[in-house]
Amino acid sequence: MKRTAAVVLVVVLVAVGAFFVGGGRATKPAAAADAPSASSGVVVDGLGKVFGTPDVLRSVFGVSLRRDDVSTALQDANTLQNRVRGALKKSGVAGADLQTSNVNVSPSYDRKGRRNGYQVSETLTAKLRDLAKAGRAISDAVVAGGSAVVLQGVSFALEDNVALLAKARDAAYAAARAKAQRYAELSGRRLGEVQLVTEKAPAPQDLPRYMGFARTAQAGLSPVPIDPGTSQVSVSVTVRWALA
């Protein structure tokens, strides 16, 4: 029992000595609270929009016809589509900008439900990059295909948008920083370093311009009027700043 009491007394003396050596204060590590935590900041969105002139016109040409047998129907449809394709190439459209987008072969029936032949439809999509000549190219292609050719529609696109995207990013970031700066002022803090940037760049949207031509194979058909207008390029960013 005396030995146990002696051990307890030694432990108490060591603890008291440590208290006086430390000046009566428990030692703490360097204040980590001074560094901004991941949650000590402001998160804002910024949107940048710029506009440019479309540089591509997509045109969709359809051939649709009916013949008594499937072989003749397919052969005649291919012949007409090749005429459309040839006219477009003659107008300067590159082969890489021509794409067969649909081929359909199906039986056709009369009003009494009896089979009376086969219906064949083919679709060709062309990218017209020379907009100054696009109207004439469309008209020539329709004339070349004849009465079975229909221009199903056109749409403008902006493919060369690298410079516009750069401007949209600048505008989006500037908008986000202006918001963050204002929130920092309202909260009595200073805007610190950027902790995170996330970009959302939506895919470029085609601008539809629909036209329909059926049975328009008259000689000397006037060029289709082409007005590209403007196309929007936008970038959205989310930025997180630390608050000091």
pLDDT tens per residue across all 244 residues of the chain? 444 444 433 333 334 343 334 444 444 444 333 444 445 799 999 999 999 999 999 999 999 999 999 999 999 999 999 999 999 999 999 999 999 989 999 999 999 999 999 999 999 999 999 999 999 999 999 999 998 999 999 999 988 889 999 999 999 999 999 999 999 999 999 999 999 999 986 655 555 444 444 434 344 567 777 788 888 899 999 999 999 8
Q: Which of 171, 165, 178 is nearest to 44 (CA)?
A: 178
Reported pTM: 0.65
Instruction: Assess if residue 36 is contained within a domain.
Output: no
Same domain, 178 and 63: no
E strand spans, 69-174: 98-109, 115-128, 149-157
Q: Are residues 59 and 170 in the same domain?
A: no
Query: Would 231 be classed as within a structural domain?
Result: no
Position 135 in a domain: yes
Could you list the residue range(s) of the whole structural domain that residue 211 is in?
A: 54-158+206-223
CA distance 144 to 126: 15
Contact 201, 165 (CB under 8 A): yes
Strand-by-strand arrangement of the 207-209 sheet: 98-109, 115-128, 56-67, 149-157, 207-209
- 121, 169: one domain: no
What one-letter code names the amino acid at 101? S
